[in-house]
Structure 1
Amino acid sequence: MKKRVTLTFPQKTVHMPVTYLLAKDFNVAANIIRAQVAPNQVGKLVLELSGDIDALEAALEWLKAQGITVSLASREILIDEEKCVDCGLCTGVCPTEALTLEPNSFRLKFLRSRCVVCEQCIPACPLQAISTNF
């Protein structure tokens, strides 16, 4: 099973090797989608967690017990087709190739199933045609 979560770390827990501990203690794989972590500051980490459902639940409970705020990611990328001019700038920053240009028509193609909502495409769009639903 997979779950996409956003972790918000208080200053005192930023130093914890969270992804290592999730793998070692819970047998949960953590794919880092986005990270904003610095010493002595509040940190944010967007992860895609995969593993057995019971192990995932135990890992999430452990994170909460450490003072880490856990939010299930339910956001989606939205593309305003009226604004989009199919320039392809978003395709260059998409790590999962959810955004591609059709080879024959050069029209933007969005594969929602591949999107991990890393939001790197949003600032790449010069026309602000890409946003999230929250």
Structure 2
Amino acid sequence: MKRRLTLHFPREAVHQPITYRLAVDFDVAAKILRAQIAPNQSGTMVVELSGDIDELAAAEHWLEGQGLGINRAPGQIQVDPARCVDCGICSSVCPSGALGFDAPSWQLQFDAQRCLVCEQCIPSCPLDAIALVLDQPTVMKKL
């Protein structure tokens, strides 16, 4: 089973070896999709956790006990074709290849099945044509 979480580190918790503890103590693999963490500052990390459902639940409980904030709000990336000018900047930062070009037309193509929802494409778009749409209707979060 896999879960995508956004972990919010308070200033006091940035020194903790979170991914190591998840692997050793809970047998949970943590794939870091994006991280903004600096010493003596608060930080954020987007991770995809993989493991047994019971171990994932225990790992999440442990993370909360360490003082980390957890955002479990699922969502999906959405590209607004009316705003997109097919510049390709977003495809250059997409780690999964979900954003790419159709060779004959050179128009941006988005493959939602490949998308990791790492959100790296959102700040890269100069026209704000990409957004994270949360599963709750009509709620959008721009970075």
Corresponding residue SS for 1:76 = strand
Equivalent runs, 1:116-131 vs 2, <5 Å: 116-131=116-131
Identify the residue that residue 81 of structure 1 maps to in structure 2.
81
Counterpart Cα distance in 2 of 1:125 and 1:68: 30
The answer on whether the counterparts of 2:34 and 2:120 sit within 8 Å (CA) in structure 1 is no
- Provide closer, same or farther for how the CA distance between residues 101 and 84 of structure 1 changes in structure 2, counting only shifts above 3 A: same
Equivalent runs, 1:107-122 vs 2, <5 Å: 107-122=107-122
Identify the residue that residue 24 of structure 1 maps to in structure 2.
24
Shift of 1:18: 0.3
1:84-123: CA deviations, max 9, x gaps?
1222221111011010101222121111121122222122
1:9-30: CA deviations, max 9, x gaps?
1111110000011001100000
Q: What TM-score does the superposition give when structure 1 sets the normalisation length?
A: 0.93
1:16-74: CA deviations, max 9, x gaps?
00001100110000000111111111111110000000010000011111111111141
Q: What TM-score does the superposition give when structure 2 sets the normalisation length?
A: 0.88
- Provide closer, same or farther for how the CA distance between residues 73 and 114 of structure 1 changes in structure 2, counting only shifts above 3 A: farther
5+ unaligned residues in a row in structure 2: which ranges? 134-140
Identify the residue that residue 137 of structure 2 maps to in structure 1.
none
Identify the residue that residue 102 of structure 1 maps to in structure 2.
102
How big is the alpha-carbon RMSD for the aligned residues of Structure 1 and Structure 2?
Answer: 1.2
- Provide closer, same or farther for how the CA distance between residues 113 and 73 of structure 1 changes in structure 2, counting only shifts above 3 A: farther
What letter corresponds to residue 64 of structure 1 in structure 2?
E
Q: Which moved more, 1:8-17 or 1:122-131?
A: 122-131
Counterpart Cα distance in 1 of 2:34 and 2:43: 11
